[in-house]
Structure 1
Amino acid sequence: MSRPTISPASDPTVSAARPPAADDRVDAVVVGAGLSGLYQLHRLRELGLTTVVFEAGDDIGGTWYWNRYPGARCDIESMSYSYSFSPELDQEWEWSERYAAQPEILRYIHHVADRFGLREDVALRTRVTRAVYDGADHRWRLSTDTGRTVTARFVIMATGCMSVPKDPGIPGVDSFTGAVHHTARWPREDVSFAGKRVAVIGTGCSGVQAVPVIAGEAASLTVFQRTPAYVLPARNRPLRAAERSALKAGYPEFRRAQRRSRGGTVFAPPTRSALEADETERTAAYEAAWEEGFLNGLVRTYTDILTDEEANATVAEFVRSRIRSVVTDPATAERLSPRTFPFATKRPCLGTGYYETYNLPHVALVDLRATPIERVTPRGIRTSDGEHDLDVIVLATGFDALTGSQLAVDIVGKGGVTLRERWAEGPRNHLGLVSAGFPNLFTVLGPLSPSVLTNITVSIEQQVEWITDCIGHLLRNGLTEIDATPSAEADWGTHVAELAARTLYPAVDSWYTGANVPGKPRVFLAYAGGLDRYREECDTAARDGYTGFTLSSPGAFPLSEERE
């Protein structure tokens, strides 16, 4: 896979972070320098706040820095999956493909950072390990793995909803004498599979994207699958110049429509039940959506795909029929056909040539439900059916989603209570933004917000802008602290659970419910009411004086004096 050229300004060997005040006191700390963290930095600067961004990686980019595996690409169209806050940025950046690949998205993020001069406030190769709220000073004290400590009035966790790789839980991995790579921690240097015997463990979105690319190079490829995914065709292609120009001309209204939409993408909503249509009509609708190549195209055909099991079964069988039409071996086609969960209750995948790959003579599929992995050996992978000799193992085993990146930091709030203790039975917060007992600690794309059920660039801008407006409100009114009330937090958790219960999501073991991580509380982790409804909930709370929150000025001085 080609790599983006790193310009001198983005050379990861140089940390250009501007030091904060001499005593390491700043107004705000942002944790993470991906799409969320960079936009949050931009907006906090507009408030005049001294801000430092801590980034564990060698460079900015977040998800698009870490996930550089072969075939990595966005599953939302490029011209939708981008910032909307700057009309000038919209017009000057040229996307090359319908669905941008990782190197191009990373170049875009570098361009944004350079255009808005964001790098100087980013401290690279610095992981926040602990954040402790000081009840006497009403500030947060953050410790890092470099030994640097910083105190700040505000902390924004922009650590991403899919950024902590899940332990594959396979014994013996360290004993393997070949190479082991995780899709979420891919090496910066090119990895060659030429002439090698390769295994991919996992068939979620990263595995689906990597498999066809690796198969095109490897001498042999064995895919170890526990649960087959619903894989939809991306229909990716280069964007024509005239097409880009037309889209750019319509950007102002399109961006407004994105913000008003349910999921951050613009489409005509369905108007009827799948069960109201006969089989011929349904099949035609599904065929049209299949050919369009949209992640949620099939979900958008009818109103009840995600709420009615019988309606869902019609589209699930349609996808299985398409798998059978592509995969020539009937037994392999059946193993690739999902039958244990409704369509789209686990995130569907967009793929290019995924099912076709299994027609190649050097590609094999191992069904781990029939022949589970016993361990990794020095020579390869041993299942209950025998040993597979290998040169390379690729782990595409997923993430500790939504809560993992926050709980990876030892966060200690009021009264010495840790966030891990507060979330022992599942995440608790108000509006997905602030947890009670952790004042001035905000989260972008965290649990109990729409996040992963939406085009996250639109969700990022909505949440960052709400957080920024909230901090601005505090400053204008001589206030220094905001905290969620326990009652509002409880009500929000109940509301999120009730919305999820109206769908087919909660009954399925998935990373949406935390079921992929042993011991993780079983809770549906996202707000399923739509980004449009969520935006109104947030706007109403702010408009009504931040209902559900306690705003105070506990004996502290304004930030403007603090910085003098």
Structure 2
Amino acid sequence: MTAPSGFTELPFDPDALREKYRAERDRRIRPDGSSQYLAAAGEFGYYAHDPYTPRTERSPVADRVEVLVIGAGFGGLVTAARLREAGVESMRIMDEAGDVGGTWYWNRYPGIHCDIESYVYMPLLEELGTVPSKRYAPGEEIRQHAIAIAEHYDLYRDTAFHTRATEMRWDEDADEWIVSTDRGDSMRARYVIVSSGTLTQPKLPGIPGIEDFGGHTFHTSRWDYGYTAGDASGALTGLADKRVGVVGTGATGLQVIPHLARDAEQLFVFQRTPSSVDVRDNRPTDPEWAAKLRPGWQRERMENFLSILSGEEVDEDLTQDGWTSTARLQRKMISGAVDTTLEPTERERRDELADFAKMEQIRERVDSVVSDPATAAALKPWYRYMCKRPGFSDEYLQAFNRPNVTLVDTADHGGVTRMTENSVVVGDEEYEVDCVIFATGFETGVSGVISGTLPVYGRHGVELLDAWAQGPRTLHGFYSHGFPNLFHLGSLQNANAVNFVHILTEQAEHITAVIAAARHAGARRVEPTAEAEQEWCETIREVAADNSAFLAECTPGYYNGEGARTGKSNSYGPGPIAFHRLLAQWRSERLSEVLVSCEVESTVA
């Protein structure tokens, strides 16, 4: 095979790598796919219990607000902040957690940091007049930033924490939503914004005998410092005499395992699929650099980062990190943007060879760090770069050089085989442990609306999931015909990116603009026409990227539904930069028409 630009000759055999990738994928595929996981509900509901904030009893609420925001993560917070700036005073935030922060409220495990540069990840930095302490900020700093946003924009004024919405029903006479909750509330709101479902609901591996284990267990997103002692910076002295098992080696495992390795008497790491682990290079923020930042610096940096990952031409890479250095390898999966100057076959050939080269580099790093050859071999990832979310750490691989750390490869058994009263079993081997920690991730992108746990009844009592029986139907991913004044934040029929907070920020600004226009016009209902909705659904079908062939070759993971996902994506194929341009153009050209339409028909088309 001829070497592409950048290679004088190939330092690897592409055919051998393809075969190796297929063999490693096949070792891990399970017939039960995503159903191998258990929801933290029912008999396992205690895994979702809030260990951080005591639940306060209160009387049911039956009142009225103009805007109800369901979800107090960054999506909900930024939307609420922009609505405050637009003059909305009557607003309530609701969340199942005991405070704001979303995933950063729940995830407080040792070693937690963001894996996107904090200067582009943490929203509203300029508005709050702050700069993160590190390039990749620790989780507690990010959580405190969420609290600071809520305080700065007076969002604690009327909140409902430890509260889950259980039903939404449109009142056609009053033109408002009636929202019922698990606290007996019957709240009314003119507008409802759903911003929940991303990395908050823990999932558990469906291991036979998990309920029989007599030791201590918890999920990383509900860390039990009462058992381990210490805090998010480590010092887990409670584990000094404990044999600990940790299940999961994804993004969470990369951060928590080094701390467990330092503090536990014995650590067993149960791995089904190794992560790709590149250099993180975290460091404190340079105060001289921060002092020279000019107004607009964060927006510029966010746009620069997203542009590079989307294949846009930029004069300079302002971030220069592991994400921007591998942008070419990400575009097909994340942004959908590709190099159209090449024929598809040649483009795919070059992309694959560049991918092979990067993954060879990552595997070589494992050999250079891990001293035991057998452990190093098991830690090497054999798949395309974007088959799993890339990982970054300067401590994870090093942890396996400790004599008290044992890597247990479960691939040939599809994961942990079973659990007994005092052990974790893989094949015929039993590993006696005192504690098992599940670093097994979350239900991703599934709000209660999508899952059906929050039923929504629109005009004429039609249920949203019935209206979506043939698939989601929205305009721009935000709202649907027949369900007035209901807005969705997330990755549904719009765009996606590794810096999802940037995506949520753009969505918050768009929703705010639409609501502000409707308020200005005195409209009571904001709802796309059936024609506009249909046109957008057709647009998504036409431009959505078809990555099914790529995903089919991937090792099982949440990107490909544990090996079962097929067909096109549900995202805007040209990518997030193009989608944000489309929204800006729509606001510029259509919002004035919307104002007129609102005055006459009380409908946003």
Band the TM-score falls in, shorter-chain normalisation: 0.7 to 0.9
Matching residue of 2:74: 35
The alpha carbon displacement at 1:462 in A equals 1.0
Matching residue of 2:363: 320
Matching residue of 1:131: 168
Q: Does 1:50 align with 2:90?
A: yes
Matching residue of 2:106: 66
What is the letter of the counterpart of residue 363 of structure 1? V
Q: Does 1:389 align with 2:432?
A: yes
Residue 119 (structure 1) aligned to one of 147, 156, 162: 156
Cα deviation per residue 1:491-535 (whole Å; 9 max; x = unaligned)? 2431452x35499457646666460498x8876355453322111
Q: Does 1:364 align with 2:406?
A: yes
What is the letter of the counterpart of residue 64 of structure 2? R
Cα deviation per residue 1:327-381 (whole Å; 9 max; x = unaligned)? 2222222221221x31023211122311111122211112222234222221121
Matching residue of 2:268: 222
Q: Does 1:142 align with 2:184?
A: no
Matching residue of 1:398: 441
Pick closer, same or farther for the CA change 1:496–1:337 going to 2, 3 Å.
Answer: farther
Alignment of 1:382-461 (within 5 A): 382-406=425-449, 407=451, 408-422=453-467, 427-451=472-496, 453-461=497-505
The alpha carbon displacement at 1:131 in A equals 1.5
**Residues in 2 aligned to 1:128 and 1:365: alpha-carbon distance in whole angstroms:** 42
Pick closer, same or farther for the CA change 1:12–1:219 going to 2, 3 Å.
Answer: closer
Q: Does 1:78 align with 2:118?
A: yes
**Residues in 1 aligned to 2:495 and 2:137: alpha-carbon distance in whole angstroms:** 23
**Residues in 2 aligned to 1:548 and 1:366: alpha-carbon distance in whole angstroms:** 62
The alpha carbon displacement at 1:319 in A equals 1.4
Cα deviation per residue 1:46-67 (whole Å; 9 max; x = unaligned)? 3335111111111211111001
TM-score by length of structure 1 reads 0.81
The alpha carbon displacement at 1:251 in A equals 5.1
Matching residue of 2:20: none
**Residues in 2 aligned to 1:302 and 1:460: alpha-carbon distance in whole angstroms:** 20
Matching residue of 1:157: 194
What is the letter of the counterpart of residue 389 of structure 1? E
Contact 2:199-2:442 within 8 A present in 1 as well: yes
SS at match of 2:491: coil
Matching residue of 2:325: 297
SS at match of 1:262: helix
Matching residue of 2:517: 473
Contact 1:71-1:101 within 8 A present in 2 as well: yes
Q: State percent identity of aligned pairs.
A: 31
SS at match of 2:365: helix
- Select between 255-264 and 525-534 the one with higher mean Cα deviation: 255-264
Matching residue of 1:286: none
Matching residue of 2:43: none
Unmatched segments (≥5 aa) in structure 2 = 1-51, 229-237, 339-347
The alpha carbon displacement at 1:263 in A equals 5.5
The alpha carbon displacement at 1:110 in A equals 1.8
What is the letter of the counterpart of residue 74 of structure 2? L
Q: Does 1:532 align with 2:577?
A: yes
**Residues in 2 aligned to 1:344 and 1:536: alpha-carbon distance in whole angstroms:** 26
**Residues in 1 aligned to 2:106 and 2:273: alpha-carbon distance in whole angstroms:** 25
Pick closer, same or farther for the CA change 1:440–1:324 going to 2, 3 Å.
Answer: same
What is the letter of the counterpart of residue 541 of structure 2? T
Residue 231 (structure 1) aligned to one of 272, 277, 291: 277
What is the letter of the counterpart of residue 212 of structure 1? P
Matching residue of 2:221: 184
Residue 541 (structure 1) aligned to one of 582, 586, 591: 586
Matching residue of 1:279: none
Pick closer, same or farther for the CA change 1:187–1:554 going to 2, 3 Å.
Answer: farther
Aligned length: 517
Pick closer, same or farther for the CA change 1:251–1:63 going to 2, 3 Å.
Answer: farther
**Residues in 2 aligned to 1:115 and 1:438: alpha-carbon distance in whole angstroms:** 32
Pick closer, same or farther for the CA change 1:412–1:553 going to 2, 3 Å.
Answer: farther
Cα deviation per residue 1:533-563 (whole Å; 9 max; x = unaligned)? 1111212233332699996679989xxxxxx
The alpha carbon displacement at 1:244 in A equals 2.8
Contact 2:92-2:158 within 8 A present in 1 as well: yes
**Residues in 1 aligned to 2:548 and 2:291: alpha-carbon distance in whole angstroms:** 41
**Residues in 2 aligned to 1:67 and 1:427: alpha-carbon distance in whole angstroms:** 30
The alpha carbon displacement at 1:87 in A equals 3.2
Contact 1:431-1:492 within 8 A present in 2 as well: no
**Residues in 1 aligned to 2:274 and 2:396: alpha-carbon distance in whole angstroms:** 12
Alignment of 1:252-291 (within 5 A): 252-259=296-303, 262=306
Matching residue of 1:204: 250
Residue 372 (structure 2) aligned to one of 329, 338, 346: 329
Residue 343 (structure 1) aligned to one of 385, 395, 398: 385
The alpha carbon displacement at 1:450 in A equals 3.0
Contact 1:488-1:548 within 8 A present in 2 as well: no
RMSD of aligned alpha carbons? 3.7
What is the letter of the counterpart of residue 475 of structure 1? R
Pick closer, same or farther for the CA change 1:301–1:391 going to 2, 3 Å.
Answer: same
**Residues in 1 aligned to 2:510 and 2:305: alpha-carbon distance in whole angstroms:** 17
Cα deviation per residue 1:15-37 (whole Å; 9 max; x = unaligned)? 799x99x9512211100112121
Contact 2:548-2:568 within 8 A present in 1 as well: no
**Residues in 2 aligned to 1:50 and 1:506: alpha-carbon distance in whole angstroms:** 48
Matching residue of 1:174: 211
**Residues in 2 aligned to 1:295 and 1:23: alpha-carbon distance in whole angstroms:** 47
What is the letter of the counterpart of residue 180 of structure 2? S
Cα deviation per residue 1:61-107 (whole Å; 9 max; x = unaligned)? 111100111111101122222223x63523xx242222111111112
TM-score by length of structure 2 reads 0.76
Contact 1:429-1:493 within 8 A present in 2 as well: no
Pick closer, same or farther for the CA change 1:302–1:411 going to 2, 3 Å.
Answer: closer
**Residues in 1 aligned to 2:93 and 2:162: alpha-carbon distance in whole angstroms:** 11
Contact 2:546-2:567 within 8 A present in 1 as well: no
Matching residue of 2:12: none
